[in-house]
Structure 1
């Protein structure tokens, strides 16, 4: 049974079908420009099932024996990023269904943000699903030989990136981000300059990380399966970057042109959710930075197909 499910999930057409269904569903919901409670519930349940089922699938794959240990690290990075997004989805739809979350941006634009969130999250899950197809092959069919020395590749860019992605540096950056958001949230008001600072920082981190992961794909050109894994993760990251781009863009529009009317609709719970969203994005990007380090290590390792799975190599 599990093997049959695995074969179905490996079919790339299922990714296209899921994205098509997501776009069609949100188009139907948006026809009357009002999202009914049952429509919100259906959206939440579908994302909940897709996200947690995919997390369980990734965990099951990571339990299989392997001769390339870094693949376990990649699975762990993917799994934790899924956990962060799944938790965010659960909190968001829980607050919506219980009436704790009223509005996120100026009401006419609120439905647009919901549509973008739903479609981009489905695309994120589909990109991860697509990448795990090739990661499973790497996990089962390749074995590690030795780590390639990077002494000859030392450069200013490499040194700076190594410092910025050091675990201690990342923990300090997360602490600063949490402290920053806590301070500006005391008055339950997010000003234009505060929103601008958050937007610029997350925009730089998100797209810089996307560019770095794409560069890793170039380094892994001798490993076709690993290239597919890296490309899938890069695509998944880009969907969250697009979501952040749209969200802060709509917030900017609301804060600049419609401040007075915009503030009337907000309640403290709405601002609390904004904090939760910010924290979720920070943790997500932290996870993706760590995952990119695992991908870079995998691209540098010398590996060969495992003889146990490739009898022709005996």
Structure 2
């Protein structure tokens, strides 16, 4: 199986990165951190105009008519930029909820007992009765807890292990793509710091301990990339579960290693490393995460 991107896919990836760097650069990121819970509607509509949410819709329905592999590339870039908002829910609702495809409507969904961006959403999929706000670890992901079960709906869902609600495999894969983007970004930040930060008259990247951290970061990221891209091609639930496990590990451990490379600077509020780590931790709690994916893979092996 070949994973070399086509010219169109490479252009799509580069175009999304350029758009996000222009519309959600570091200044916008820090401004969003300073105003938690506020969703930038202008940015959301810009994403809609760019086809972010309508990417997989047929052209007659106003979509771009691309596939799951292209959606994975787009969500990888969103994860790399720490783009906030219920991106996965709105993308999946395009074509079913009026305005979702164009970015005019913000859609969120109940995920187990949690729901992201409840107060900022126009449409909520699932029962949010009794929802109470939580103090979210990630300042860019407001959370509410609800006792309601995860919503059903018209989307294709993998068979859940006994006692667990079914999880949409596409949502699982797109979350894995976001985690891959985080792993890529923290790798870039770690290498950049290792090259420029000096100790004892030389860049810290010359020290073996730092070299090993950066090498492990790269190895986990590239392993996760292959798994995520492969799952986007096969759309097999087991492949998606494996990709999610690897992407969660690459994002969380990668952000922690990046923090170690930064040393004491990584713990400061001014550095962006902690934001990537907190987002990776928060995403890992979404449906299809470690427990669900491990149980699905175990069931597949037994069968």
Q: Structure 1 length normalisation: TM-score? A: 0.33
Q: As a proportion of its length, which structure holds more helix?
A: 1
Q: Which has the greater radius of gyration? A: 1
Q: Structure 2 length normalisation: TM-score? A: 0.34
Q: As a proportion of its length, which structure holds more strand?
A: 2
